[in-house]
Structure 1
Amino acid sequence: MHDAFLPEWAVERGKWLNSFGEIDPARTALVIVDMQGAFVAQGEIFGNPHAEAIIPAVNRLAAAMRAAGGTVIWTRQTVSEEAPLAMAPWQYDPTDARVREAIDALTPGAASHGLHPDMVAAGSDLVLDKYRYSAFGCPSGALEAALRQRGIEMLVIAGTLTNVCCESTARDGYMRGFKVIFLSDATATVCDEEHNAALLSLRLHFADVRDTSAVISMLEQHSNQVTS
């Protein structure tokens, strides 16, 4: 797991834009980005020990969100050759062996495309395929449509990679008017430096950055208020 570090000056400077001390689960979605075999399992094309290490935190948070009545959404990075889902031709060279391996791993039906077997998804969860780094950048618009239909106002972002798909989704969510909480200990990338650089930029401009325990405490606090 990453040695996450966020300087206090960044926390203080970011507070005036994004500081969320309460969660209304009915209007909140946990968006778990790309915890697929291809990005998590050792020996896979993008397998990453940091991503493997956050599995317990992600599962714990998903269970807490469901218990509180919130929405849980899983995304899967997906490759398609059909327009408009297909990437621009210049972005991928399928004659490159590593690119070909990645395309094959992220094609629907491939074992590596599915969620990692240790991820605990429930029947009530949504599983959405995405075709760009940001889950909001998908030509199909599936994520935003699902959020709007459910009256979601806040996103909690977990998954991998911190500084690619997770960060892109958080930024786009903010620009679409959603409150965003980004998990410092339930997101992962390839090294601490990249992880912390993403947390810094997000905290300054786009999201409240908190750890899993803090978010679960806010969910429990809301439940206690409702039942008291």
Structure 2
Amino acid sequence: MPHNVKVPDYVIDRIMAKRGKLEVFEKFDPAKTAFLVVDMQNFYVAEVETARSIVPNINRLASACRGKNIPVFWLTMSVAEKEGGPSQWPLYHEYFFTPAKGMNHLAKLSPGNWGHEIYKELDVQADDRIVSKKRFSPFIVGSSDLHDQLKVLRVENLIVAGTATNMCSESTARDAMMLDYKVVMVEDANAARYDDDHLAGLTSFYQSFGDVRTTDATIAMLK
């Protein structure tokens, strides 16, 4: 089931008082835009109904982007270089999990494990790019080479979808804005386990970091 949430009125009022309009960006030039799909891997999606529910919208966005020659990037959380290898984020696994949970997270998000694979119903095409990251955000130094790839492509605008809204999606979107990318988080193409978590990620981002739009509205601004 998709999330059924609404940005609170006090957040809308705060945004309007701050900048006089809800949307910061009226349109994105396709030649300067990329689509980032965050962590839509079996470990995060297969047993999470809200995450599965956004698959059609992600596929719609990806198709619309390809139709305008916008590159599509699939970001994957990779906590080890290979299955059975040591953690690339030992602090996280040592302190933020029980030992058993940490071992499970490490095993299932390592390349070669089924949990690490992109969910089968997502339409990944041969010309799309798959980028492995070591942290919630691909833009943290040492996490991935995504920023370098985007610079080569002269990308200035980013569309962010995926899971979890309030964790890896929001971390990615926030850090992108900190690097001077113009960013849209797609509200019905991001998901968290719970409505409150999804809403928390969107409302925090919306107030100071970028736009929050629907799939339809995002596609419409690509012109």
TM-score (norm 1): 0.87
**What is aligned with 1:114?**
117
- Residue matched to 2:53: 53
Equivalent of residue 33 in structure 2, options 4, 24, 28? 28
Query: What amino acid maps onto 2:202 in structure 1?
Result: L
Paired residues in the alignment total 214
**In structure 1, C-alpha distance between the alignment counterparts of 2:54 and 2:18, rounded to whole Å:** 25
Say what the alpha-carbon RMSD is for the aligned residues: 2.3
For residue 12 of structure 1, what is the aligned residue in structure 2? Answer: 16
Distance 1:12 1:136 in 2: 29
Separation in 1 of the partners of 2:18 and 2:73?
27
Q: SS at the partner of 2:35?
A: strand
Paired position in structure 1 for 2:4: 3
Q: Find the aligned partners of 2:155 and 2:56 in 1 and give their Cα distance.
A: 25
The aligned runs of 1:1-228 (5 Å cut-off) are 1-6=2-7, 7=9, 8-13=12-17, 15=19, 19-42=24-47, 48-80=48-80, 86-87=88-89, 89-93=90-94, 96-137=99-140, 139-219=142-222, 222=223
* Shift in CA distance, 140/166, structure 1 to aligned 2, threshold 3 Å: closer
Q: Is the CA contact 1:10–1:203 (under 8 Å) kept in the aligned structure 2?
A: no
Deviation at 1:209, TM superposition (A): 0.6
Post-superposition shift, 1:106?
0.4
Matched-pair contact (CA < 8 Å) for 1:131–1:138:
no
Runs of 4+ in 1 over 2 A off after TM superposition: 10-18
Whole-Å Cα distance in 1 between the matches of residues 104 and 31 of structure 2? 40
Asked if structure 2 preserves the Cα contact closer than 8 Å seen for 1:29 and 1:72, the reply is yes
**Kindly tell me: are residues 212 and 14 of structure 1, through their superposed partners in 2, closer, same or farther at Cα, counting changes over 3 Å?**
farther
User: Is the Cα–Cα contact under 8 Å of residues 26 and 71 in structure 1 kept in the other structure?
Assistant: no
Shift of 1:109: 0.7
Task: Provide Cα deviations, 1:124-179, integer angstroms capped at 9, x if missing partner.
Answer: 11100010001112515411011000000001000000000000011100000000
Unaligned residue ranges in structure 2 (runs of 5+): none
Residue 61 of structure 2 contacts residue 215 of structure 2 at CA under 8 Å; is this kept in 1? yes
Q: Which moved more, 1:5-14 or 1:157-166?
A: 5-14
Give 5+ residue unaligned stretches, structure 1.
Answer: 43-47, 223-228
**Contact kept? 1:37, 1:112, Cα under 8 Å:** yes
Measured in 2, the distance between the counterparts of 1:38 and 1:168 equals 19
